[in-house]
Amino acid sequence: MQFFKFAVCGLILGVGTLAQAALDPQQALTQAPPLTLFEKWNAPIAPFKIFKHVYYVGTDNLSSVLIDTGAGLVLIDSGIAQSAPQIKANIERFGFKMTEIKYLLNSHARLDQAGGFAQLKQWSGAKLVASAANAEMLENGAATDFALGDQLPFPPVKVDVIIKDGEQIKLGRQTFTAHATPGHLPGATSWTTDIRHHFKNYRLIYADSLFTGGYYLLNNKNYPNIVADIQQTFKSLDAIQADIFLANKADRFEMKAKLAKLQAGDTYAFIDRDGLQHYVAKGKADFEQQLQDQLKEHPQAQP
């Protein structure tokens, strides 16, 4: 029998049911994407090894990343509910067992990143880790989504560990640092960890979404600080120097193009030291254009 040693630094355990923040009925909501879009993103793709100890076990465009710490596995994000069997099968194709997963980490609590957690947690017995704001939505199945309301529900799941900005999860040889990157959702979280390879550390980031298309940015009653939060997120992410840039949608880190290079024999295909900064620059440009368009339409409003 193998024993797993792990440490949790500065965290709150045993969360239980969190208080739910009511949405303001006077705040207009954003129209949710059709379910067919998520079903398209959920198309299967063969799992592959990204880098030493790092595996892509998600779907065609819904990222799910597995990291072998030497003392158990850590899985980041879970796709939609229908992704869970694919993710399980992908993990097992590498010879791992679901019960080796010790932590499930969340980027943000929406259908396409969190829908599979309930099933994956049941199979693995792992602890689910999330920010406080994400935890609320994970536990109510996204009933209090500030932008979408309850348009995209997913199976509720209990959160075991609440983590704050800068706090860490340690397991085996890996330390995972949570970075609060709010804006897409108030609880949005990006994750970094260092991968040791050939006596060198490679910083890996799993970046959360920067997308705010369709959001009401001005005087949003459900999320008054959305503009300030997303602007701070751009600064926070831009300051991180990452060697391996991953994100919660495969197309955001050009996964297929890099995979083609990997399959052609380039073992460092996913080394992309400018990827995160390019991602931030594009997100910032799109956000600022959206903000300016809304200010032109409502010149009396203040961001």
Asked if 213 and 286 touch (Cβ cutoff 8 Å), the reply is yes
State both tokens at 281.
């620059």
User: pTM for this structure?
Assistant: 0.93
**How confident is the model over 159-211, as pLDDT tens digits?**
999 999 999 999 999 999 999 999 999 999 999 999 999 999 999 999 999 99
Distance CA 21, CA 38 (A): 27
**How confident is the model over 224-235, as pLDDT tens digits?**
999 999 999 999
**Above 70 in pLDDT, residue 34?**
yes
Asked if 62 and 76 touch (Cβ cutoff 8 Å), the reply is no
Distance CA 108, CA 88 (A): 20
Q: At what angle do helices 84-93 and 117-124 cross, to 10 degrees?
A: 40
Q: Give the H/E segment covering residue 74.
A: strand 73-76
